[in-house]
């Protein structure tokens, strides 16, 4: 039967699809091609409990718990050409308890951002990245993480979730304590708990890893 044949070829089909998606991107933006780079940093006051929006086209994003009431941003712009590095810029705006960080590069340039963010432990996140990896470490709050190609990793959760909805178009979904994902080429996970927060995560091509679930008090 066709269905059984496809099931037997699942690892091969998955590998081929990932290669077809990633190959042209890697050709344009492989890390070994960066000849020019610049590193910048800045920080803004930001109270716990706010919402942070991050928009990135190409690059890795690492968000972790900071020790102060600030958003501390450090990023490195990488490209083959110095002009692309000079023309890249970041819009970093804070309005009360709402903050946004948007990374801009010249259209069609092979430019990447490696981003490190330290934020208050209790911060809600709205993250959109097209190509790269996203890691969120030790942050309590609602999370909406959307990624085109790459991996999402959420680690060291100290607060519980009332809802986890995670999915991959092509890729694996690894969950520590949130139940077993379903699906074949892509995976899907729906979890309902007794915590305070919601986690929504989607990757088009790549994997999602949820680590370190802790039970809520009394469970």
Question: CB-based contacts of 24: which residues, under 8 Å, 6+ apart?
Answer: none
How many folded domains does the chain comprise? Answer: 1
Model pTM score: 0.83
Is 132 within the bounds of a domain? yes
Per-residue pLDDT of the chain (219 residues; tens, 9 = 90+): 443 333 344 454 545 555 455 544 444 444 446 679 999 999 999 988 999 999 999 999 999 999 889 999 999 999 988 999 999 999 999 999 999 999 999 876 689 999 999 999 999 999 999 999 999 999 999 999 999 999 999 996 656 889 999 999 999 999 887 888 888 888 999 999 888 999 999 999 999 999 875 544 434
Is 119 within the bounds of a domain? yes
Is 6 within the bounds of a domain? yes
Is 186 within the bounds of a domain? yes
Helix H or strand E encompassing 63? strand 51-65
Question: Which residue range is the domain that position 142 belongs to?
Answer: 2-210
As given in the structure block, the two tokens for residue 78 are 């990488």
């Amino acid at each position: 039967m066709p269905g059984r044949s496809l099931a037997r070829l699942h690892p091969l089909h998955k590998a081929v699809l990932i290669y077809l998606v990633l190959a042209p991107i890697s050709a344009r933006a492989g890390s070994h091609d960066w000849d020019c780079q610049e590193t910048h940093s800045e920080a803004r006051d930001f109270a716990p409990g706010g919402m942070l929006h991050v928009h990135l086209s190409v690059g890795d994003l690492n968000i972790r718990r900071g020790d102060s009431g600030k958003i501390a941003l450090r990023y490195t712009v990488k490209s083959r050409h110095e002009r692309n590095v000079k023309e890249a810029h970041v819009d970093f705006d804070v309005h009360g308890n709402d903050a946004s960080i948007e990374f801009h590069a010249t259209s069609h340039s092979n430019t990447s951002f490696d981003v490190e963010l330290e934020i208050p432990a209790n911060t809600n996140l709205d993250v959109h990245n097209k190509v790269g990896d996203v890691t969120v470490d030790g942050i309590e709050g609602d999370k909406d993480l959307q990624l085109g190609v790459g991996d999402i990793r959420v680690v060291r959760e100290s607060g519980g979730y009332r809802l986890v909805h995670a999915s991959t178009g092509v890729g694996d979904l690894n969950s520590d304590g949130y139940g077993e994902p379903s699906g074949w080429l892509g995976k899907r996970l729906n979890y309902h708990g007794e915590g305070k927060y919601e986690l929504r995560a989607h990757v088009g091509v790549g994997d999602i890893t949820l680590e370190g679930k802790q039970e809520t008090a009394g469970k």
